[in-house]
């Protein structure tokens, strides 16, 4: 049986969360917060029996210096941020798995959604940031 909620999570310094209600086919909640706040709110408000967790693939980011035009400091910062996001995603996957949730990872396909496109696709007129839209892309329409 299909679980009622699909929760998309875009892990990072600012963690984007989208709760998609598969029964009503609408976004039930959309927010961004810290890692621990997002983790705690989901554990408090949703049960493993009726919730699927979808986390953005933690291994999608890699850094390479193709043409050496970027400074080493810039590449180091990108690599560091990718490592932080990777670790947070891994902790979410492990934590929700241990709590009994069905957890999937997904690599987003296509281009990022801007605010106007997000509103057109989802019919949700909430003000959003990129992290929230990335989380919504993971679960909208599942």
Residue 90 is part of a domain; what is its CATH number?
Answer: 3.30.420.10
Please report the pLDDT score of residue 122 as a whole number: 93
Tens digit of each residue's pLDDT (9 = 90 or more) over 116-138 = 999 999 999 999 999 999 999 99
Q: Which residue range forms the structural domain that includes residue 93?
A: 5-139
Tens digit of each residue's pLDDT (9 = 90 or more) over 71-123 = 666 555 555 455 567 888 999 999 999 999 999 999 878 888 999 999 999 99
Tens digit of each residue's pLDDT (9 = 90 or more) over 17-52 = 999 999 999 999 999 999 999 999 999 999 999 999
Please tell me the chain's helix, strand, coil percentages from 3-state DSSP, rounded to the nearest 5.
40, 25, 35
Give exposure, 85-115, as e/b (b: 16+ Cβ within 10 Å).
Answer: bbebbebbbebbeeeebebebeebeeeebee
Number of domains in the chain: 1
């Amino acid at each position: 049986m299909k679980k009622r909620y699909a929760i998309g999570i875009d892990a990072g310094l600012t963690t984007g969360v989208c709760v998609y209600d598969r029964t009503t086919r609408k976004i039930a909640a959309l927010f961004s917060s810290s890692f621990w706040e997002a983790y705690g709110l989901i554990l408090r408000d949703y049960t493993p029996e009726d919730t699927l967790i979808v986390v953005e693939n933690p291994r999608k980011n890699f850094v390479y210096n193709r043409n050496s035009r970027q400074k080493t400091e810039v590449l180091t910062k990108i690599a560091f941020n990718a490592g932080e996001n990777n670790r947070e995603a891994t902790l979410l996957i492990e934590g929700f798995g241990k709590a009994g949730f069905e957890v999937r990872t997904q690599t987003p396909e296509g281009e990022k959604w801007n605010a106007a496109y997000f509103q057109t696709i989802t019919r949700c007129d909430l003000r959003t940031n990129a992290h929230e839209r990335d989380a919504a892309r993971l679960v909208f329409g599942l």
